[in-house]
Amino acid sequence: MPIWLTEAVGTPDDSTAIQMAIRLVVAFLCGCVIAAIYRWVRPREQVMPTFPATLVLLAILCAMLPLVIGQNVAWAFGLVGALSIVRFRTVVEDTHDITFVIFAVLVGMAVGADRLTVAIVGMAVTGVAAFLVRPRQRGDGWTRSGARLTIRLGAGRDPEAALGSVFERLLEKVELTSGGTSKQGASLDLNYRIRLKADTKATDLINQLNLIEGVQSVELRQGR
């Protein structure tokens, strides 16, 4: 690192509170650039509302790592062990939630390593960043960000013939993403990526699908 830059922001071991804040703010700005590039190169309909914010927060949290660990190799292995302990028995579907898990781990390690300045500055900068880049859901989230629809249909039935009329009437967009059998082949599990029409409620779709003969269950989840 150039001497002039080292003097401005310090090294991880000897950084002051102001230098730490500068590092994290720079990471925030870099994260915003990365999120902007992601939005630019990805099709709009495939962008999860929370993912750009996740990229920004991850940039800040990764910048906290050297501030917590410094030159201590033992702490580096300790961080790996701490993160490996954090396991989920169910899948965490929103990456935004995972960043807060990492946030809590890093702050806890900073406090345990007697680096209170890192913990306080990190919480302040990350908290402000999380507020600034929080996902903003405009209008009805079901129609804006899309949803995932899972339908269990009795085997031997044509999904297009059974579901097509309801889809055409209530959905703006529908795409079959995966499918399989269940109950030893007695039923089909179909997964769709959908977007509701502006005047359609989620409950309307569920009720209409339940009325179709052969439909055994319907599950609708917001997000992709």
Cα 42 from Cα 93, distance rounded (Å): 20
Cβ pair 102, 83 in contact under 8 A:
yes
Cα 139 from Cα 144, distance rounded (Å): 7
Cα 119 from Cα 4, distance rounded (Å): 26
pLDDT tens digits, residue range 161-184? Answer: 888 889 988 888 888 888 888 887
Residue 9 banded pLDDT, cuts 50, 70, 90 = very low
Cα 68 from Cα 46, distance rounded (Å): 35
Q: How much is the pLDDT for 6?
A: 47
Strand partners, 78: none
Cα 16 from Cα 10, distance rounded (Å): 8
Cα 55 from Cα 96, distance rounded (Å): 9
Other CB atoms within 10 A of residue 93 CB? 13
Cβ pair 218, 151 in contact under 8 A:
yes
Cβ pair 208, 166 in contact under 8 A:
yes
pLDDT (average), residues 92-119: 76
As given in the structure block, the two tokens for residue 91 are 């899948």
Q: How much is the pLDDT for 157?
A: 84
pLDDT tens digits, residue range 37-74? Answer: 888 877 776 677 778 888 888 888 888 877 777 666 66
Cβ pair 123, 22 in contact under 8 A:
no
pTM above 0.85, yes or no: no
